[in-house]
Chains A and B, each alone.
Chain A
Amino acid sequence: MVEFFDATVETVEHVTGDLYLLRLRDCEALASSQPGQFAMLRPRSWQVDPVLARPFSIFRTSGDRVDFLIRTVGRGTDSLVRCNAGERIDVLGPVGTAFPSPSHGPTVLVAGGVGLAPIGLWIDRADDGMRADATLIYGARTADDLVFLDELSQRVAVVVTTEDGSFGRKGLVTDEMVSLLDGCAEVLTCGPTRMMAHVARLAGEARVSCHVSLEARMACGRGICLGCAVPGVAGPLLVCRDGPVLPAGHVDWEQVLV
């Protein structure tokens, strides 16, 4: 059940480039979060500005500790990663739908950039059988943007792509996908919208089930403001209530990409 509570910043660690790891404690309510679910975070220090809480996927949990993988893109994320240990943060969560956990058959996980966060939790929560059947395609702009490669490689098969070829294969995640779709039971993806649209199309062409984790600007995170609507094939979808994880076929990709 969604709860609204205040948590405490334990650490903020610079990982690499513009990526940070924010660890909160006093987050019992998030301990059983499912992969793909997220939390709305709002430091108490924000007061009049920034106004709105920001959504972040739950990346790892351990007891009452929760880690978020945060890419700084603007004033909200900049301010969050500058929080000091001990600062109080209002948290709403866990919010939204989760990635399915296929019990049999190969799973292809496709993560772009900070889209790794919910995929990371999926890998954490998967059992040995599911991990043995899973391949992660993890793409970034450049080698410096790749994080936690060692940990990931110990648990699932990993294919890395970088756009500039500085690590792994040069190119896009979608270049590596097609050969893995044969016999694949499920594709799970999170990353830039354009990337997910491409992933969804390839999965659709191969008739493989595909779930995507969408993004939208959010105000409330709990289905109240109707601010996070994205076009769906059967009418608008609320990313915070109907998503963020949705069957790819429910999304009206043409409209989403306009």
Chain B
Amino acid sequence: MEIRADSTVDMGVDLTGLALANPVMTASGTFGYGVESKDLVDLAELGAVVTKGLSPVPKEGNRAPRIWEAQAGVINSIGLENPGVDYFCEEYLPVLRSYDTRVVVNFFGQTEQDYVVCAATLDAADGVDALEMNLSCPNVQAGGLQFGQDPSMAGRLVAACRRATSKPLWAKLSLVGPVVEVARACVDAGADVLCLGNTIPAMAIDPRTRRPRLGALTGGLSGPAIHPVAVRAVFVVHRAELGVPLVGIGGIRTGLDAAEFLLAGASAVQVGTQTLVEPNACIRIRDELRAYCIEQKVTSVGQLRGACRLDGDA
């Protein structure tokens, strides 16, 4: 019997009140604000557009070079350069709204107040479906310790943003540090979805010149190299049974890479580095994931969630 791929598998997922047509989204910082790619990518085919991170006021980036290619990965030190949340709402959001796609807006800050300002602005903005907070930022009021490295600081930050918005609030965590404790603190503070995770701190040095490869000295590693680290993070957080959907992020290049995240416990995934080199990677990966569902004889992609077989399972 011939199986028609598009009619046999339900690819829809529900992320605490936000329904996505399929579980494959772009990852923040690798798809701009969506509108830049409208001629290359059919935005309606994406699970969601996740925007580049925004701060309350425009932010400059780091000094060059900002990119170094490691083995099976990329180290970037862009520095969260962005035009500010108000500019986004005025210039990009109206265009984005005219496309039939879900819009998840990533934001960050240097203080709790920064985050709250962003959350309130995005809460009021028409066309923003969910807010994704990037917790991998130094808190300038706590000696530069990252919000997401300390469970109580992370919890306070999420609680403050929770009060500022009634829209779905996603917390994007670091893959290093006390992952489960931070995850629990975020959920207790009201996060609707956990995203795992951000780039991994990294560095490269040119042995001949003895100079760091990046202008900012260190950066964040993304791409295939971090995939198993992120799968493990999703797995342990899923096992902690915190009661919220998880989004797996890190090194996804194929439908099978995405499937691993779902089996580990994720409900959806985001594709970053591969989107940079292949603008429509999400759509191909969605199709490969659907083909995998057919091969595995599951009729809904949701059936893969946490379906990794462990000792004692049949």
Q: Tell me the smallest distance from the CB of B206 to a CB of chain A, in Å.
A: 12
Q: A90-B278, A217-B68, A219-B276 are in contact. Are A51 and B224 (CB under 8 A)?
A: yes
In the complex, the chain A residue whose C-beta lies closest to that of B80 is: A226
Q: Which of B24-32, B136-144, B166-174, B297-305 contacts A (4 or more CB under 8 A)?
A: B24-32
* Interface residues on chain B, size class: 20 to 34
Q: Contact: B273 with A4, CB < 8 Å?
A: no
The segment out of B4-12, B13-21, B57-65, B285-293 that lies at the interface is: B57-65
Contact in complex: B66, A229 (CB < 8 Å): yes
Of chain B, the residue at the smallest CB distance from A76 is B69
Is there an interface contact between B66 and A227, defined as CB atoms closer than 8 Å?
Answer: yes
Which B residues form the contact surface with A (CB < 8 A)?
29-32, 36-37, 39-40, 60-61, 63-69, 71-74, 76, 78, 81, 223-224, 253, 273, 276-280
**Nearest Cβ distance between residue A15 and chain B, in whole angstroms?**
26
18 contacts between A and B (CB under 8 A): A90-B277, A92-B279, A218-B67, A219-B67, A219-B273, A220-B30, A220-B277, A224-B30, A224-B32, A224-B36, A225-B29, A225-B76, A226-B78, A226-B81, A229-B61, A229-B64, A231-B64, A235-B60
- Beyond known contacts A48-B72, A224-B32, A227-B66: 9 more, CB 8 A cutoff: A4-B280, A49-B72, A51-B277, A216-B64, A217-B67, A219-B76, A223-B36, A227-B76, A229-B64
Q: Are B30 and A51 in contact, with the CB atoms below 8 A?
A: no
Complex Cα distance, B224 from A171, in Å, reads 46
User: Which chain A residues border B72 with CB–CB below 8 Å?
Assistant: 48-49, 51
Cross-chain contact A1 with B76 (CB below 8 angstroms): no
Q: A225-B76, A225-B78, A227-B66 are in contact. Are A52 and B277 (CB under 8 A)?
A: yes
Residue of chain A at shortest CB distance from B68: A217
Complex Cα gap A49–B273 (Å): 12
A: number of interface residues (CB 8 Å): 33
Given contacts A51-B74, A51-B223, are A236 and B61 in contact (CB under 8 A)?
yes
Residues of A within 8 A of B66 (CB): 217, 226-229
The answer to whether the Cβ of A187 comes within 8 Å of any Cβ in the partner chain is no
Q: Which of A218, A220, A226 contacts B61 (CB 8 A)?
A: A226
A52 to B74, CA, bound (A): 8
CA distance A225 to B78 in the complex (A): 8
CB proximity of A12 to chain B, nearest CB, Å: 21
The reply on A179 being an interface residue by CB < 8 A is no
Instruction: Verify A227–B78 contact, CB threshold 8 A.
Output: yes
> Residue of B at shortest CB range from A54?
B69
CA distance in complex: A1, B40 (Å): 10
For B74, the chain A residues whose CB sits under 8 A away are 51-52, 219
- Mask, A86-110, CB within 8 Å of B = 1, is 0000101000000000000000000
Residue numbers in A under 8 Å from B278 (CB-CB): 4, 90
B78 surroundings in chain A (CB, below 8 A) = 225-227
Q: Which 6 A-B pairs have the closest CB atoms?
A: A227-B67, A48-B224, A49-B72, A220-B276, A217-B67, A224-B32
Judge whether B40 and A42 touch: CB under 8 Å: no
CB distance from A236 to the nearest CB of B (A): 7
Shortest Cβ distance from residue A91 to the other chain B in the assembled complex, whole angstroms: 11
Interface string of A33-44 (1 = CB under 8 A from B): 000000010100
A51 to B73, CA, bound (A): 6
Q: How far is the CB of B299 from chain A (nearest CB, A)?
A: 31
